[in-house]
Amino acid sequence: MELDNSQDGKRSISNIKIDRSQLTRNQYTMSLLYEGQRVGLITGQKVYQIQIEIMQILQQLIRKHTQGESTSVTSDKAQGIMVSLMYAMDAYTLHFNEPEEAISHLNTDSVKKIHEKGLELLSQYFEQSKQLYREVVEMQLDVPVDAYNMTIDESLPVFMNHYDIVFEAQNTMASIDYPLAIDDMRLQGVFYMKQYLERLLMETKFCHLFSHSDLMYVLKNFGKKHRFNYQIELFNIFELIINNAVFSLLAGGKANEVRISDFQYEQLNRMFTTCDADQRIRLIHEAFSRLQEELQTDQALNHYIDLYRDELIQRVNNATEIGNFEMLIIREEEEREKPMVLMLNENDRMSDMKMRELVDQIMESDNLEEKVRIIRDHFVSLHDYLDLLNSGSLFGDEYDALFATFGDIELAIFAKIVFYEELRGDDREFLDIVADGTEASEEWEEKYMEFMQQLDEARMKEVGRLIYDIDYEEISFY
C-alpha cells in the first residue's frame, strides 16, 4: 500500500470527521488509513510505520505457520495469511462506534496490539457463533427441505470444526446452500457466519409460531404450484410463511394463519389491483405492524421483519403489474388423483457386478433386437436405467429402439427428468416444452428429446397428462 507521506499532521484535528462513504467494510483498516490521511487525522509517516509493522507481523505469522522451519511460503499462502491478518485488524477497528476513535488507536497502539485485540474479538465472535448454532440445532424445524437440513446438519459443523482464526480468519470454511430471506453476502469469515446464524435462528423462531401442519401445508402447495419437488429446491421457508401470514391478515384472517382460501385469494387480487402503489405500501405496512403485534415478536425479529417488508412490497407490485398473484400467494392446490405412486429405493438396484456383466453383454452384442431384449428382461429399476443410459453403452439408433419399447408411463417418468427445469413453474403445454427442447447434459437426453419430438400429438398429450399423475417425490433420480 503506497500513501502520500507528505502530510505533516500539524493542523487541528478536533473538528475533522471521516467521510464514512469512503470506508470499505471488507478492507476497513486500509480504507481508514487512506481516508484518515486524506483529512489529516493521521500522518503519512505514521501510516508508513504501520505498513512496516504489518509486514513484521506477517513474517512472524509465516514462521508460526511453518512451525519455525521457514520464513517463506507460496505467494498464495502468504497472501491468504496477510488477508487474515488484516481481517483481525478490521475486527478491532470495526468495533469502535466512531471511525475517528479507531483512527486514534491506529495512531497510538502498535500493530501487534491491534492484531492481538482483533484476534480476541474474533475468538469471542466465534464462541458466540457456536452458541447460536447450538440454539439453531435445538430449534431446527421438522421439515423435509434438504437445503435447510443439510446446511444445519452438515455444512455449519464444517465451519464450527475447522474455522482458523489466525491464518484463515476471512474464510467461512463451508459451503452454505440454504438461502436467507435477507442476507449480506459482502461479509466474510466469522462476521458472515455469525450474521447468518443470527438470522437463521430468527427465521426459525418465527416459523415456530405456526403449527407444523400449517408449515407443511405451505411447503406442499408451494411445490404443487411450481410443479417441482420442494424437498430438493433452494428457497427460503420464512419468506413463504410470512408472506401468507401477511396475506391472511389483509384478507381478514389472523396473524398465525397461513391457509388462504379461494375467496380470500380473489379478495386479495381485487384489493391489490384496485389500489395504487402508495395504497399498497400503506396496506402492507399496516399488515406487518399487526403481524408483529399479534405474534408478539421481539425487537430483533421485528427489525429483521422490517428489513424483509420492502422485499414483499416489491413482489406484490411486480405481481400487480403482470396481473397474476398465483406464484406469490400460496393457496391449496387441487389434489389431482394420483393413479400411480412410484416407490423406488436403493434396494431396487442391481449389484455393481451384475450391472457390469449386463453392460458387457450389451456392448458385445451386434444385434439391435438382442440388446434391447437384454435391457428389457433385466432392468426394472429407474436407478438402473439411469446407470445404463449414463454408461455410454448405447449408440445411435439403439436409443430409439429402446425408447420405442417404453410405455407412456415410462416416457412420462423420463420426461420428468429430462425436462425437470421446464416443468417446474412453466406455463407452457407439454407439447411446446418438448418442441422447444432443453439443454441436454448427456447423449441419452438428447436422443430422448429427438424420440419424443417424433411422436404423434395424441400420444404426446397422453404422456404430458401422465406427468402430472405420477407422484415422484419418493424417487431419487440420481
Angle at 454 between CA 453 and CA 458, to 5 degrees: 90
Of 54-68, 182-196, 277-291, 323-337, the one with minimum mean pLDDT is 323-337
Phi/psi for 137 (5° steps) reads -60, -40
Q: Provide the pLDDT confidence category of residue 335 given band limits of 50, 70 and 90.
A: low
d(CA 175, CA 194): 15
Q: What is the DSSP letter of 341?
A: E
* pLDDT exceeds 50 at position 235: yes
Helix (H, G, I), strand (E, B) or coil at 62: helix
Please tell me the predicted confidence (pLDDT) of residue 205: 98
Please tell me the predicted confidence (pLDDT) of residue 43: 95
Burial of 478 (0-12, 13-18, 19+ CB in 10 A): exposed
Of 88-97, 152-161, 303-312, 419-428, the one with minimum mean pLDDT is 419-428
* pLDDT exceeds 80 at position 353: yes
Q: Cα-Cα-Cα-Cα dihedral of 373, 375, 378, 382, to 10°?
A: -140
Burial of 378 (0-12, 13-18, 19+ CB in 10 A): middle
Please tell me the predicted confidence (pLDDT) of residue 52: 96
Please tell me the predicted confidence (pLDDT) of residue 284: 97
53-93, pLDDT tens digit by residue? Answer: 999 999 999 999 988 776 678 999 999 999 999 999 999 99
d(CA 439, CA 457): 22
The residue with greater pLDDT, 420 or 427, is 420
Mean predicted confidence (pLDDT) in 374-398? 87
Q: What percent of the chain has pLDDT over 90?
A: 66
Please tell me the predicted confidence (pLDDT) of residue 9: 40
Residue-wise DSSP of 84-129: HHHHHHHHHHHTSSSHHHHHHHHHHS-HHHHHHHHHHHHHHHHHHH
Of 52-61, 322-331, 374-383, the one with minimum mean pLDDT is 374-383
d(CA 463, CA 413): 9
* pLDDT exceeds 80 at position 425: no
- Residue ranges covered by each domain of the chain: 20-115, 121-205, 209-322, 340-471
Q: Provide the pLDDT confidence category of residue 426 given band limits of 50, 70 and 90.
A: low
d(CA 205, CA 188): 25
Query: Which amino acid type is present at position 436?
Result: D
